[in-house]
Amino acid sequence: MRNIMILLVLVSVISCSTVRVNYDFDKTVDFTNYSTYNYYPEIQTGLSDLDSRRLYNAIDSTMQRRGILLSEEPDFYVNVQSKSFVTPNNSTVGVGIGGTSGNVGGGVSIGVPLGGSNLERELIFDLVDSQKDALFWQAISLSNFSENSSPNTREKKLYEIVAKVFSKYPPVIKKGKKK
């Protein structure tokens, strides 16, 4: 019984901290043409200066591991935007009272919320061709975060987000069947 409780707690903690990412890209682009990058000249991440530096370090580390080099004359620019918002907690407990007499029935029901609301951060990663000034790949991540977390926790979270975001870059383009 104790093992089941530990497992349930672990699953709930893991599910609350997951990073969700949606991807989109131009399927006509040849991604092998992109081997150097830099940050968009007028980048406004929406993060604090410290978190922006942590994010850039995470991106630089990830790109370097993928063989994509930081350059003064890049093939593409990385632009990152963020916004934070509060999502209501969807967990509620229903309480109801009902009664019936003869052919007449009635009832009252209310939902009591459990816990508070969640603070979420959306990070939008745009990769823009530097020659054409055209967006060719985009990832939008959504994750929970705490404004009061330690610098180490913030750094780990940003590295986790960047790893998940760039796990599908370059995209695998499936070739359709010819008719």
Kindly report, residue by residue over 10-63, the tens digit of the pLDDT: 444 444 558 999 999 999 999 999 999 999 999 999 999 999 999 999 999 999
Output the pLDDT for position 4.
58
How far is it, in rounded angstroms, from Cα 173 to Cα 160?
24
Both structure tokens of 117: 């609301």
- Alpha-carbon distances of 90 from 78, 116, 122, 145, rounded to whole Å: 35, 10, 19, 17
What domains sit in the chain, N to C, each tagged with a CATH number?
19-98+107-168 (3.30.160.670)
Kindly report, residue by residue over 52-96, the tens digit of the pLDDT: 999 999 999 999 999 999 999 999 999 999 998 786 665 555 656
